[in-house]
Amino acid sequence: MKTDAPFDPSPSRPGDPPERPSVQFREATALVAASPCGEWDLVLGQGPVIAAAVHDGHAMRASLQQYLHIDTPSRRRDEDPLTGLFTTVGDVRLRARRSRFEVDLNRPRDKALSGDPADTWGIRFWKEELPDDEIQRSLAIHDRFYAMLAELLDALLQRHGTLLLLDLHSYNHRRDGADGPHAPAEANPDIDLGATTLDRARWGHVVDTFAGEMRDAPVAGGAPDVRENVRYPGGGHFPEWVHHRYGDRICTLSIEYKKTFMDEWTGQADIARLYDLHAGLERAVRAVRGEFGR
């Protein structure tokens, strides 16, 4: 409903002088999605911060499930559950609905649906070689995603000039089993900031500020171990594609959370840690937000 003036809830009596109304909202031209999509969720807000969780999805089409060699809990363990919750720090929020094993949006097109265990940590995910028509269906999702992403980032850059893109992930640190030892902390920080593609001369101060703010935000009563480019020094296709297309107009941080916020074998979440990690991410975004936009 559109009105000529903002609604004023204050009481008034006949003969009282008119008060200047309090303006809480205003109309503005907004970027909106032309149609809903079953392959990802996209929330479009006003601002230069984008938060994406491209591995959070678990859905998989029925025609592909018949070829799975692993059970559902095992598949879920190597997805990035709950990372979609962190996207709420963004003005624009993007979460993939499809499992990374139906289509991996953080890998190049020719690896987006792989049957080679070498691409899946030595784990055999598929019973047999996948039919070509199934592979092509997954590659079509990959194509649609990057076509959408190009249109989205073009539009956001036209509005804001520069952008902060948060590429949100998580990683396992108990590969030796539910009762096995945790991976050594020296090579497995609580939070790994992947800054493999950004221009250090342009955005280095943003990375340093971001990391410092995350370290200063307590997690379970202690300071989290936050380091840079430890787990995946080679980066991923998603940030590489963004950098190749847009250069230093977009500062991309790939954030890898060690799965201390959940039991990676049972899937049970630690809600208190999730809240702490989310608060730290909010704090870091708030500290650097002023560096982006026009």
* 54-64 per-position pLDDT tens digit: 999 999 999 99
Q: Do strands 92-96 and 226-228 pair parallel, antiparallel, or not at all (unpaired)?
A: unpaired
Q: How far is CA 165 from CA 3, 149, 185, 253, in A?
A: 37, 12, 27, 6
**pLDDT over 80 at 274, yes or no:** yes
**Would you state the pLDDT for residue 10?**
44
**Would you state the pLDDT for residue 40?**
95
**Would you state the pLDDT for residue 5?**
41
Q: What pTM did the predictor assign?
A: 0.89
Q: Give tens-digit pLDDT for 97-127.
A: 999 999 999 999 999 998 888 888 788 899 9
Task: Read off the CATH number of the domain in which 213 is found.
Answer: 3.40.630.40
The answer to whether residue 21 is domain-embedded is no
**Would you state the pLDDT for residue 3?**
42
**Would you state the pLDDT for residue 27?**
52
Average pLDDT over residues 151-169: 97
pLDDT classification of 32: cutoffs 50, 70, 90: confident
Q: How many secondary structure helices (H) and strands (E) does the chain include? A: 6, 7
The answer to whether residue 213 is domain-embedded is yes
Rounded-to-integer distance, Cα 277 and Cα 256, Å: 12
pLDDT classification of 20: cutoffs 50, 70, 90: low
**Would you state the pLDDT for residue 2?**
43
The answer to whether residue 121 is domain-embedded is yes
Q: Which two tokens stand for residue 217?
A: 């935000």
The residues pairing with 293 across neighbouring beta strands, listed in sequence order, are: none
The answer to whether residue 135 is domain-embedded is yes
The answer to whether residue 6 is domain-embedded is no
**Would you state the pLDDT for residue 26?**
55
Provide the domain count of the chain: 1
The answer to whether residue 34 is domain-embedded is no
List the domain range (segments joined by +) for residue 198: 40-291
**Would you state the pLDDT for residue 233?**
83
Q: Which two tokens stand for residue 169?
A: 């992930």
| Range from 4-13, 27-36, 152-161 carrying the lowest mean pLDDT | 4-13
Mean pLDDT, the chain, integer: 90
The answer to whether residue 8 is domain-embedded is no
**Would you state the pLDDT for residue 21?**
57
| Contact yes or no for 264/231 (Cβ under 8 A) | no
CB neighbour list of residue 27: distance below 8 Å, 6 or more residues apart: 2
Average pLDDT over residues 22-31: 59
The answer to whether residue 23 is domain-embedded is no
pLDDT classification of 186: cutoffs 50, 70, 90: very high
